[in-house]
Amino acid sequence: MSTEKKEGKEFDDLVKPAPPLVANPISPPSSQILESRGKEWDAFLGQVNDNYIKTLRSYAPKNEFEIEIDGHSKTYTRRKIKTRDYAELEKIRAQFAKANTNGDIEKASDLQFQIYIKCAESYLGMTREEFDEADFEEVKKVCDACNFRTLHGLPN
């Protein structure tokens, strides 16, 4: 029997952390990130994506949304987006994609929020002040669902 004490390994030596990933339905992750992930991570992200698609499918047919603004619930009615507003959103999305591709994370982050601010204004009539005080998780789901409905119509 050995009297030597076994040294334990650090957690990070045994389990390598997943690569950083910005979950974003507007712009998919780069192929480099996709190639560097493991099967378990891909399965997890696939499940997250499937669940988000279910959320979009349930939100897209709705015309009214309850969103918490500064601790109070407010009802917003979905509006059809005007062509000029959609064109402006597409320009911001293109700038976002370029910044993301170039690795300018700070600019990409700012542009991503501009996309959601513009979506909330265009689809819901939400003011910038309301957006700043809103429950972002809910605003994001509503905006993504409204955009999904614009692009694909109502799901079956």
What's this model's pTM, rounded to 2 decimal places? 0.70
Q: Fill in the amino acid letter for 143.
A: C
What is the C-alpha separation between 70 and 105, in angstroms, rounded? 28
pLDDT of residue 142 exceeding 60, the answer is yes
Task: State pLDDT tens for residues 26-73.
Answer: 545 555 555 556 777 778 878 888 888 888 888 999 999 999 999 999
Q: For residue 104, what pLDDT is reported? A: 92
State residue 13's pLDDT score: 61
Assess whether pLDDT exceeds 70 at residue 82. Answer: yes
What is the pLDDT, as a whole number, of residue 7?
62
* Cβ atoms of 89 and 118 closer than 8 Å: yes
Q: What is the pLDDT of residue 46?
A: 82
Higher pLDDT, 9 or 61: 61
Q: Which residues have a Cβ under 8 Å from the Cβ of 126 and sit 6 or more positions away? A: 67, 76, 120, 134, 139
**For the chain, what are the domain ranges?**
37-152
Output 116 or 1, whichever has higher pLDDT: 116
Going by C-beta distance under 8 Å and a sequence separation of 6 or more, which residues neighbour residue 21?
29, 33, 45
Query: Cα separation of 21 and 34, whole Å?
Result: 10
pLDDT of amino acid 3? 52
pLDDT tens digit sequence for 93-133: 999 999 999 999 999 999 999 999 999 999 999 999 999 99
Amino acid letter, 110: D
